[in-house]
Structure 1
Amino acid sequence: MTIRAVLIVNNHGKPRLTKFYSQLPSARQQALIRLIYRLVSKRPDGVCNFLDAPELTPLLPPPSDAVSFSSTSRTAPSSGSGSGSGSGTNTANAARRSTRGETSDRSNQDELRVIYRHYATLYFVFVVDQSESELGILDLIQVFVESLDRCFENVCELDLIFHFDEVHAILCELIQGGLVVETNINEIVSAAQTTSRARKTSAATTPGGGGLASFVPSATSNLSSLTPSSLNLGFPGSPGWGNGGSSSSSSGSGGGGGGGGIAWPKGTFMVDALANLGSQYLGGGSRGRGRYGR
């Protein structure tokens, strides 16, 4: 069938990447992560890197659109000079045996297997069914790790934490829907780097798409020119506070803060604290001091 899940867990059982290819509730996902970590963490380093895990089968069902690769045995019609009733009985018995064999093959394929590798402080774990090759999955884990290492230059646990979106993009280049789609490291790294460059270019060219960076002044800007009225912020204690915007205009849209800002309610602790900050750093004088000002 398919690969059921891909996990990266550190030595303390903290998940750094989780990808389940079946729709599961969050509580079951957490239970699976704990169970898989218990299975792989208690194994010594000298043993093989895959183990049968039938206890995972009821918790991790196959996807609804999973493709089954089980071979169906065909029963040849019986030939001979026997009577019609005898021939029909033999055919029925053969059909029942074939059905039992297919059911047995399907149940065997539904049993899950855990294949993992331990690198430094991280466990790379793949949960697969019986139709997958253990050695092939071990090679796939090596491809995944080398792709991460090329993209992040000596990848570490912190890279997985702070660049989780890029890690998921690299994994999607390897596996989609539980099926392996690419194993060439050069192709995987090239596609991941192209996606990263396109994302950065889009963020740089989108107006106002830079988040907090769009509000940070450049090194050549004059910091003294940044005032609450120019930033359209209605801080208590700032020039224009309580005048409904500019002092020369009395028909601003909405009363309250300077430069058409928010009409802050008076008499609360937070507003008084902001008034003190405005008085201290913006030169508002005693006009904006509240009952907590000095």
Structure 2
Amino acid sequence: MIKAILVFNNHGKPRLSKFFTHYSEDEQQQIVRETFHLVSKRDDNVCNFLEGGTLIGGSDFRLIYRHYATLYFVFCVDSSESELGILDLIQVFVETLDKCFENVCELDLIFHIDKVHYILQEIVMGGMVLETNMSEVLTHIEAQSKLEKSETTASSIMKAGVASAPSRAVAAMNTLKQSTPFKR
């Protein structure tokens, strides 16, 4: 099972953190710091698997990571997960992000975090892998984008209707007063 997914830059600033096991806010920050320390000090030519730190479960857990440009993508998993399978999953996640944002960069993760979380939820939910087929994930993301656009259009039409409602109500009241005089 996947315990956590962490993405941080070369300076240790977290850009995405998704924990599937409950940890307090302080514990989460310590895990991110410890994970960055463990991963960043490794050479680029060594294996991308290492035992989890003391905070995330010790030797029962593995940190599986990939370093792309300025970002580290780290999956913290228990011993039941395949290391090579998780490496492939990281590749699918990064390639999907790359397709969605056209050359994904750190700023995309910062300014479009909601979309990044949606993409991640299409791939992993509750610590379990849902989908590894990138084209299937992209199909769901495109459908979601179309739905969001149609909701935005409908919302702006309603706002325009609501904004003009007070003026229409005043005009209707004036017409009503002029056409039907009240007698006292």
TM-score by length of 1: 0.52
The aligned counterpart of 2:96 is 147
Map Cα deviations across residues 246-276 of structure 1 (whole Å, 9 max, x no partner).
xxxxxxxxxxxxxxxxxxxxxxxxxxxxxxx
For residue 107 of structure 2, give the secondary structure of its aligned residue in structure 1: helix
Aligned pair count reads 161
State the shift of 1:208 in Å: 8.2
2:150 to 163, 179, 201: 201
The aligned counterpart of 1:36 is 35
The aligned counterpart of 1:26 is 25
Q: Contact between 1:144 and 1:174, CA under 8 Å: does it hold in 2?
A: yes
Paired AA for residue 32 in structure 2: I
Map Cα deviations across residues 72-114 of structure 1 (whole Å, 9 max, x no partner).
xxxxxxxxxxxxxxxxxxxxxxxxxxxxxxxxxxxx7xx1110
CA distance in 2, matches of 1:55, 1:24: 14
The aligned counterpart of 2:4 is 5
Map Cα deviations across residues 187-242 of structure 1 (whole Å, 9 max, x no partner).
101111211221232122125888xxx8xxxxxxxxxxxxxxx9xxxxxxxxxxxx
The structure-2 alpha-carbon separation of the partners of 1:162 and 1:57, relative to structure 1 and needing over 3 Å to count, comes to closer
For residue 28 of structure 2, give the secondary structure of its aligned residue in structure 1: helix
For residue 4 of structure 2, give the secondary structure of its aligned residue in structure 1: strand
CA distance in 2, matches of 1:155, 1:58: 31
CA distance in 2, matches of 1:198, 1:189: 14
2:117 to 157, 161, 168: 168
For residue 123 of structure 1, give the secondary structure of its aligned residue in structure 2: strand
Paired AA for residue 24 in structure 1: Y
1:179 aligns with 2:128: yes
Alignment of 1:120-159 (within 5 A): 120-159=69-108
CA distance in 2, matches of 1:57, 1:125: 13
State the shift of 1:28 in Å: 1.1
For residue 132 of structure 2, give the secondary structure of its aligned residue in structure 1: coil
Higher Cα Rg: structure 1 or 2? 1
State the shift of 1:56 in Å: 3.0
Structure 1 gap ranges (5+): 60-107, 215-229, 231-294
Alignment of 1:1-294 (within 5 A): 2-58=1-57, 111-206=60-155
Q: Contact between 2:12 and 2:33, CA under 8 Å: does it hold in 1?
A: yes
Paired AA for residue 28 in structure 2: Q
Paired AA for residue 37 in structure 2: R
Q: Contact between 1:5 and 1:19, CA under 8 Å: does it hold in 2?
A: yes
Paired AA for residue 163 in structure 1: H
TM-score by length of 2: 0.81
**Which one is further off, 166-175 or 17-26?**
17-26
The answer to which structure has the higher helix fraction is: 2
State the shift of 1:24 in Å: 2.0
Paired AA for residue 132 in structure 2: T
Larger RCO, structures 1/2 (Cα 8 Å, 6+ apart): 2
The structure-2 alpha-carbon separation of the partners of 1:163 and 1:57, relative to structure 1 and needing over 3 Å to count, comes to closer
Task: State the identity as a percent.
Answer: 56
CA distance in 1, matches of 2:70, 2:55: 24
CA distance in 2, matches of 1:192, 1:137: 22
Paired AA for residue 51 in structure 1: L
Map Cα deviations across residues 105-135 of structure 1 (whole Å, 9 max, x no partner).
xxx7xx1110000000000000001111111
CA distance in 2, matches of 1:120, 1:24: 29
State the shift of 1:163 in Å: 0.7
